[in-house]
C-alpha cells in the first residue's frame, strides 16, 4: 500500500538537503495542479511504496503568497498520510510558528530538529522529549547535511502514517481566545471531522475568506461568529490576526524557556563575523562583483574553457564528425541526407553541446553559493539598491534563477506582492544571461577577445545594468507607479553545503539544457539547415553546392531585412538570421553560425570558424551583436511564460517590444559612438545616436512625476 509523506518547513531550514538525502536519485519533477510552479516528488530510498512530496518553503499557512496557498491546499485536499516538519534548530522560535499551524491540521506529524551539529557546537541543549509532549508528536534530532538520524526520522514518519493517528492540537491559547474558538467550533463546525475543527476555528477567527467560502457559511452564521470575534478583539484591544500571531509567539516563548537552554556567550558567531564583512555597507557590492568575476572567470576562461575546447576539438572535431561522415560515405548515403545529418544535426546540436562543460562548472559554483547561504546575503544587499529602482530584494531571486533559465525565473516573480514591482521583474529578468546565452558569450569571447573571462563577467553585469536602467526609466511612468513591497527575510547561518544537493541541482539544470538541445534545438537545426542548403539557382529550386549559400532561402530572407541592423554594424544576412533564430532558443545562435560557416570543417581550437566570424565582424560590431542578443527579446518559451504571468497579450507585447528596443538602442549606442571615437568621422547615424543617447539620459535622470506631485502638494500646503 502506497504511503504519502509531505515534507514541510521554512526556507533555509535544510528541507531540500533532507529531501535529497531521503530520495537520492528517485526524484521526479512536475507542476502543481493549476499552476506552473515546480512540484518535486520522490521515492524513499529502500521503500518504493513511500512517496515524499517536497512542499514549497513557507513561513506560515496564512495563504499570503502562492507558496503558502499551494502548501495549505495540498495538505487539506490531498490529505497526506503524514507530515515531516523540518525546523532549524538554531532558530527554533521562528520555525516553530509554522509548527503550531501544522499541528492544527490534524494530520499525523513528526518534528525533525535539523542542524543539530551547529546547535551542539553553539552549546545549546534542546529537550526533545518535552518539546514532543508540548505538541503531542514524535521529535527526532537530525543533521540533514551529515545524514545523521535520518533513518530514525523516516521510521517515525512511517510509523505515525501507518497507525493513522489523527492529531488533536495540544497547544492552547489564552482563556478569552480559547473561549471564542470553542464557541465557533460548537456553532459552526460540529459536523466537521474532529481533527479538522481546530484548524477551521482558528481560520474563521482570523476571518479567512477562503475558509468561509469553503464551508459555505450563511450570512446569519457569519454575523453570529463575527459578534464573538469582535468581543474578543475588544477584550484584547487588537485585531484577530494579530491576536493569533501574538498568542502563537507567547506559546513558543514559554515553551522554549522549558525545552531550550542556550549557552550564554559574548562572542560573535562565525556567521556574524563573516557578515560584518560581506554585508558591510561599503564592501558588500565590491565583494559580490569579485565573487561573480571569479565564478565566470573559472567557468568560461580556465577550467570550463579547457573542457569545452576538448569537447569541441577532440570529441566532435576529430572523433564524432569524421567517424559519422566516413560511415555515411561508405554506406553510399545520398548527399542531401549526409548534409542533413552532418552539417545540420551534428553541426547544429554539436556546436551547442560543446559548451556544456562550461555550464556544468558555472552551475556547480552557483549551487555552492546558494547552499552555503551567501546568495541570501546578496538578496539582502541588493534590496537596498533595488528599492531605488522600483524593485525589491525579492526581485533578485528570479534574477538568480535566471542565470540558469529565464522560464522558471519569470515564474518565480509571482512571489512579489506588489503588482508593479512584479511586472517590472517579469519584464527585466531575461536581461540576466541565462545558460542558453553562455555559448554565444563564449563564441564571441573566443573569436575576438582571446577567450578572456571578463567578457562573461561583463555580460552578467551588463544584464544587471539593464535591469537598473530599466527600473529608473519604467518606475517614472504611469504603468509602474507605487512603492515596492518591503522585503523581509532572516539570513540563515553560513554552513558547509551538501555536495549531494549541489550535484543534484547541477544535474537538474544541465539535464534540462540537454533536453532542450536534443529537442527544440534539433528541430531548429534541421529547419535552419534546409533553409540554408536549399534555394534558387538560375531560376531553379535545388540543393545548393559549396559556394552557393548566398542563393539560399535563408539568405534571401536575411538580405531583405538586413538594412534594419546595418546601423548596429552587422547588416549581412548571416548574423541577422542567427540573431533572429535566437527567438527559438538562444543556443541556436551558435548552431546557426556552425551551419553557416561549416562546423564539420572546423579545425582544432575552432580557428576556421573564428576566422569566418572575424571576416564578418570587427571587434566593435561583434560587441554590438552580443549586446543585442543578450538584451533583446528572449526565446519563445520565455515569452510564453511572460504571457502566462502577465495574463495579458498587451503586456506581453509591451515586454517583448521593450526588451527588443532596449537591446537595439544599447547596441546602436555602443557601435556608433565607438566607431566615432575610433575613426573620428561624424556621420548622420552619429548624430541620430547622440540624440537617442540624450533622450535615454533624460528618461533616466528626469524627476519622478509622483515626487513632483508630492512636492507641489507640500508647497501648496505650506502656502495655505
CA distance 200 to 243: 16
- Grid cell 525565473 in the structure block, residue: 409
Give me the residues of the chain with pLDDT under 50, please: 36, 600-607, 710-711, 713-714, 718
Indicate whether 339 and 389 sit together in one domain.
yes
Question: Do the domain assignments include residue 44?
Answer: yes
Indicate whether 180 and 151 sit together in one domain.
no
- Grid cell 562543460 in the structure block, residue: 357
- Measured in degrees and rounded to the nearest 5, phi and psi for residue 682 equal -95, 120
Among 130, 163, 196, where does a domain finish?
163
Indicate whether 611 and 514 sit together in one domain.
yes
CA distance 589 to 524: 10
Question: Do the domain assignments include residue 123?
Answer: yes
| CA angle at 107 for the pair 194 and 113, rounded to the nearest 5° | 140
What confidence score (pLDDT) does residue 600 get? 43
At residue 334, the 3 state secondary structure works out as coil
Render 110-172 in DSSP notation, one character per residue: EEEEE-HHHHHHTT-EE-HHHHHHHHTS-EEE-BTTTTBSHHHHHHHHHHHHHHT--------
What confidence score (pLDDT) does residue 109 get? 93
Indicate whether 396 and 421 sit together in one domain.
yes
What confidence score (pLDDT) does residue 537 get? 87
Question: Do the domain assignments include residue 525?
Answer: yes
pTM of the model: 0.62
Indicate whether 224 and 300 sit together in one domain.
no
Supply the range of the domain harboring residue 242: 175-261
What confidence score (pLDDT) does residue 62 get? 74
Q: Cβ-count burial of 718 within 10 angstroms (0-12 exposed, 13-18 middle, 19+ buried)?
A: exposed
Cell numbers for 144: 540533514
End-to-end CA distance of the chain: 78
Q: Which residues pair with 126 in a beta bridge?
A: 260
For residues 586 and 440, the answer to whether their CB atoms sit within 8 Å is yes
> Which among 406, 477, 392, 397 is positioned nearest to 654, based on CA atoms?
477
Q: Cβ-count burial of 2 within 10 angstroms (0-12 exposed, 13-18 middle, 19+ buried)?
A: exposed
Indicate whether 619 and 548 sit together in one domain.
yes
Q: Where are the beta strands (DSSP E) in 236-392?
A: 260-261
552 DSSP assignment? B
Whole-angstrom CA distances from 339 to 113, 348, 539, 587 are: 61, 12, 23, 21
CA distance 260 to 248: 17
Indicate whether 189 and 122 sit together in one domain.
no
What confidence score (pLDDT) does residue 354 get? 66
Question: Do the domain assignments include residue 716?
Answer: no
2 DSSP assignment? -
Question: Do the domain assignments include residue 170?
Answer: no
Total domain count, the chain: 3
Indicate whether 329 and 245 sit together in one domain.
no
Cell numbers for 238: 487588537
Bridging pattern class, strands 47-54 and 3-9: parallel
Indicate whether 97 and 198 sit together in one domain.
no
Question: Do the domain assignments include residue 711?
Answer: no
Question: Do the domain assignments include residue 78?
Answer: yes
Q: Which residues, other chains included, contact 478 with Cβ-Cβ below 8 Å and sequence gap of 6+? A: 705
Indicate whether 194 and 297 sit together in one domain.
no
Length of the chain: 720
Cell numbers for 506: 547541477
> CA-based Rg of the chain, rounded to a whole angstrom?
30
CATH number of the CATH domain containing 79: 3.40.50.300
Indicate whether 505 and 462 sit together in one domain.
yes
CATH number of the CATH domain containing 198: 1.10.287.1770
Indicate whether 179 and 90 sit together in one domain.
no
**pLDDT tens digit string along 336-372?**
787 778 766 776 566 566 667 877 887 788 788 878 8
Question: Do the domain assignments include residue 272?
Answer: no
What confidence score (pLDDT) does residue 513 get? 66
Amino acid at each position: 500500500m502506497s504511503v504519502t509523506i509531505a515534507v514541510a518547513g521554512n526556507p533555509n531550514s535544510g528541507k531540500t538537503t533532507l529531501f535529497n538525502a531521503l530520495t537520492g536519485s528517485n526524484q521526479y519533477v512536475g507542476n502543481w495542479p493549476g499552476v506552473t510552479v515546480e512540484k518535486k516528488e520522490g521515492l524513499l530510498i529502500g521503500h518504493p511504496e513511500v512517496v515524499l512530496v517536497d512542499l514549497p518553503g513557507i513561513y506560515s499557512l496564512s495563504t499570503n503568497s502562492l507558496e503558502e496557498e499551494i502548501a495549505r491546499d495540498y495538505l487539506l485536499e490531498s490529505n497526506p498520510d503524514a507530515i515531516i516538519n523540518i525546523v532549524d534548530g538554531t532558530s527554533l522560535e521562528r520555525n516553530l510558528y509554522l509548527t503550531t499551524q501544522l499541528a492544527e491540521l490534524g494530520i499525523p506529524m513528526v518534528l525533525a530538529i535539523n542542524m543539530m551539529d551547529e546547535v551542539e557546537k553553539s552549546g545549546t541543549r534542546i529537550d526533545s522529549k518535552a518539546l514532543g509532549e508540548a505538541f503531542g508528536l514524535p521529535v527526532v534530532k537530525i543533521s540533514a547535511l551529515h545524514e545523521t538520524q535520518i533513518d530514525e526520522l523516516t521510521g517515525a514518519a512511517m510509523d505515525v502514517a501507518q497507525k493513522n493517528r489523527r492529531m488533536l492540537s495540544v497547544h492552547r491559547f489564552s482563556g478569552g481566545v480559547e473561549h471564542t474558538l470553542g464557541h465557533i467550533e460548537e456553532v459552526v463546525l460540529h459536523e466537521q471531522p474532529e481533527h479538522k475543527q481546530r484548524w477551521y476555528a482558528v481560520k474563521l477567527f482570523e476571518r479567512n475568506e477562503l475558509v468561509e467560502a469553503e464551508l459555505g457559511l450563511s450570512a446569519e452564521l457569519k454575523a453570529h461568529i463575527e459578534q464573538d470575534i469582535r468581543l474578543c478583539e475588544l477584550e484584547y484591544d487588537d485585531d484577530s490576526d494579530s491576536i493569533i500571531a501574538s498568542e502563537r509567539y507567547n506559546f513558543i516563548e514559554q515553551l522554549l524557556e522549558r525545552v531550550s537552554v542556550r549557552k550564554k556567550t559574548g562572542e560573535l558567531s562565525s556567521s556574524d563575523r563573516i557578515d560584518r564583512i560581506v554585508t558591510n555597507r561599503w564592501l558588500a557590492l565590491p565583494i559580490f562583483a569579485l565573487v561573480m568575476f571569479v565564478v565566470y572567470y573559472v567557468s568560461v576562461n580556465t577550467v570550463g574553457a579547457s573542457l569545452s575546447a576538448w569537447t569541441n576539438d577532440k570529441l566532435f572535431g576529430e572523433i564524432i564528425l569524421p567517424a559519422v561522415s566516413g560511415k555515411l560515405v561508405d554506406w553510399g548515403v545520398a548527399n542531401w541526407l549526409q548534409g542533413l545529418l552532418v552539417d545540420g544535426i551534428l553541426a547544429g546540436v554539436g556546436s551547442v553541446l560543446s559548451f556544456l562543460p562550461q555550464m556544468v562548472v558555472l552551475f556547480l559554483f552557483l549551487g555552492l553559493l546558494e547552499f552555503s547561504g551567501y546568495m541570501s546575503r546578496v538578496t539582502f544587499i541588493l534590496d537596498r539598491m533595488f528599492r531605488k529602482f522600483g524593485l525589491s530584494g525579492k526581485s533578485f531571486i528570479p534574477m538568480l534563477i535566471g542565470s540558469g533559465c529565464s522560464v522558471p525565473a519569470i515564474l518565480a516573480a509571482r512571489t512579489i506582492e506588489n503588482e508593479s514591482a512584479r511586472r517590472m521583474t517579469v519584464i527585466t529578468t531575461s536581461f540576466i544571461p541565462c545558460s542558453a546565452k553562455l555559448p554565444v558569450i563564449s563564441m564571441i569571447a573566443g573569436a575576438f577577445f582571446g577567450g578572456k573571462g571578463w567578457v562573461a563577467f561583463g555580460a552578467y553585469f551588463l544584464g544587471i545594468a539593464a535591469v537598473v536602467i530599466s527600473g529608473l526609466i519604467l518606475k517614472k511612468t504611469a504603468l509602474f507607479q507605487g512603492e515596492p513591497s518591503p522585503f523581509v527575510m532572516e539570513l540563515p547561518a553560513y554552513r558547509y553545503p551538501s555536495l549531494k544537493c549541489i550535484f543534484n541541482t547541477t544535474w537538474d539544470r544541465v539535464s534540462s539544457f540537454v533536453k532542450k538541445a536534443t529537442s527544440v534545438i534539433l528541430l531548429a537545426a534541421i529547419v535552419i539547415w534546409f533553409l540554408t542548403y536549399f534555394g534558387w539557382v538560375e531560376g531553379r529550386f535545388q540543393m545548393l553546392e559549396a559556394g552557393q549559400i548566398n542563393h539560399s532561402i535563408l539568405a534571401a530572407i536575411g538580405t531583405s531585412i538586413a538594412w534594419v541592423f546595418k546601423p548596429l554594424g552587422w547588416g549581412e544576412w548571416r548574423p541577422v538570421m542567427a540573431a533572429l533564430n535566437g527567438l527559438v532558443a538562444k543556443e541556436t545562435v551558435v548552431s546557426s553560425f556552425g551551419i553557416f560557416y561549416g562546423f564539420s570543417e572546423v579545425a582544432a581550437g575552432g580557428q576556421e570558424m573564428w576566422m569566418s566570424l572575424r571576416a564578418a565582424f570587427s571587434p566593435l560590431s561583434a560587441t554590438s551583436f552580443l549586446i543585442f542578443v543578450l538584451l533583446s527579446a528572449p526565446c519563445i518559451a520565455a515569452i510564453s511564460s511572460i504571457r502566462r504571468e502577465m495574463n495579458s497579450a498587451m503586456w506581453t507585447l509591451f515586454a517583448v517590444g521593450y526588451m527588443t528596443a532596449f537591446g537595439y538602442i544599447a547596441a546602436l549606442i555602443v557601435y556608433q559612438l565607438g566607431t566615432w571615437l575610433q575613426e573620428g568621422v561624424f556621420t548622420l547615424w552619429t548624430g541620430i545616436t547622440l540624440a537617442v543617447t540624450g533622450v535615454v539620459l533624460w528618461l533616466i535622470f528626469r524627476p519622478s512625476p509622483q515626487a513632483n506631485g508630492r512636492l507641489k502638494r507640500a508647497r501648496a500646503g505650506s502656502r495655505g
